[in-house]
């Protein structure tokens, strides 16, 4: 692929954690290599503990790079920035702030809470289906509603790259399906959220195929890229797609790839 079209470049990336007990380094990611193009929705899947969250945190600038390249718009990532925002698995809303105060928190921190920022926040509240709930507190929201607020908060600062770490994993199956459709609706709605670049982590291969332009399958940890699968279904995508034979075939293919990595890991552990 042509490097000049890459928004994020990952080259021979190595990430790790130092043990709090003895300071020993254990690798979480090693030899990770791939590119993300502008406007792509990339889904990353892989065995539990293989290094997905560590990778996403490094992209967010919250985890140091040991070696290799991790470049956003051609510049090595060295810390957090206004060009990225992250959505975590569990709602990370501030319980003492209202829904709207949570959504505009980043804008205020960046001193960008002007008339345009306010209008954008109102528009996002509406976009995520919570118009009229801006004065509610997080404790009054269902899990699905809280994740909608998280999504609106992440989009409020108009980041170039949005990082989603299993954002729907804590939701029940039905709400999760709704949220997947909502996410695509927001993605496909045009306007200020159109053409965002995103990295979405999930363990759900159906969610992966439904959302992704490409699915990156991480190997057993320390993670490298085991396989990249192109998902070529047209957009907009509707829920009926999930019942089509080609959809099920692709999901099955990705599941097999992840499972083979999980077996590889089992062998590593028991060997």
Q: Is 48 in the site for ligand ATP (CB under 6 A)?
A: yes
Q: Which is nearer to Mg ion, 169 or 178 (CB)?
A: 169
Kindly state the smallest distance separating residue 134's Cβ from ligand ATP, in Å. 32
Q: Is 159 in the site for ligand ATP (CB under 6 A)?
A: no
Q: Which is nearer to ligand ATP, 28 or 130 (CB)?
A: 28
Q: List, in order, residues 6 or more apart from 253 with CB less than 8 Å away.
A: 229
> What backbone torsions phi and psi does residue 228 show, to the nearest 5 degrees?
-120, 125
Q: Is 138 in the site for ligand ATP (CB under 6 A)?
A: no
Kindly state the smallest distance separating residue 146's Cβ from ligand ATP, in Å. 19
Confirm if 137 and 95 have CB atoms less than 8 A apart. yes
Take residue 128 and report the two structure tokens written for it: 């995520």
The owner of tokens 């945190």 is 57
Write out the binding residues for Mg ion, residues 29-88 only, by CB under 5 A.
Answer: 53
CA distances from 126 to 10, 119, 134, 152, 192 (A): 35, 11, 10, 9, 13
Q: Which residue is nearest to Mg ion (CB)?
A: 53
Q: List, in order, residues 6 or more apart from 245 with CB less than 8 Å away.
A: none
Kindly state the smallest distance separating residue 84's Cβ from ligand ATP, in Å. 17
Which spans of this chain sit near ligand ATP (rule: CB under 6 A)?
A: 17, 28, 46, 48-54, 221
Which spans of this chain sit near Mg ion (rule: CB under 5 A)?
A: 53
């Amino acid at each position: 692929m042509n490097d000049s079209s890459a928004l994020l470049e990952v080259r021979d990336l190595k990430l790790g954690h130092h043990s709090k007990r003895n300071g020993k380094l254990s690798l979480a990611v090693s030899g990770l290599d791939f590119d993300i193009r502008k406007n792509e929705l990339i889904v990353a899947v892989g065995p539990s503990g293989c290094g997905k969250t560590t990778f996403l945190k490094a992209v967010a600038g919250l985890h140091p790079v040991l070696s290799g390249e991790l470049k956003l718009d051609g510049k090595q990532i060295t810390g957090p920035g206004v060009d990225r925002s992250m959505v975590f698995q569990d709602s990370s809303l501030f319980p003492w702030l209202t829904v709207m105060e949570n959504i505009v928190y980043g804008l205020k921190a960046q001193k960008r809470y002007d008339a345009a920022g306010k209008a954008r926040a109102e528009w996002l509240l509406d976009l995520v289906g919570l118009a009229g709930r801006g004065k509610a507190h997080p404790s009054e929201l269902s899990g699905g509603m809280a994740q909608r607020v998280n999504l609106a908060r992440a989009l409020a600062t108009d980041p170039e790259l949005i990082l989603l770490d299993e954002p729907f994993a804590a939701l029940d199956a039905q709400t999760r399906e709704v949220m997947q459709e909502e996410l695509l609706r927001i993605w496909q709605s045009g306007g200020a959220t159109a053409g965002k670049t995103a990295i979405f982590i999930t363990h759900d291969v159906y969610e992966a195929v439904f959302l992704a332009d490409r699915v990156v399958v991480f190997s057993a940890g320390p993670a490298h890229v085991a396989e990249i699968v192109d998902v070529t279904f047209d957009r907009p995508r509707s829920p009926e797609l999930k019942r089509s034979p080609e959809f099920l075939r692709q999901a099955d293919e990705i599941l097999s790839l992840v499972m083979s990595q999980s077996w590889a890991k089992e062998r590593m552990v028991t060997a």
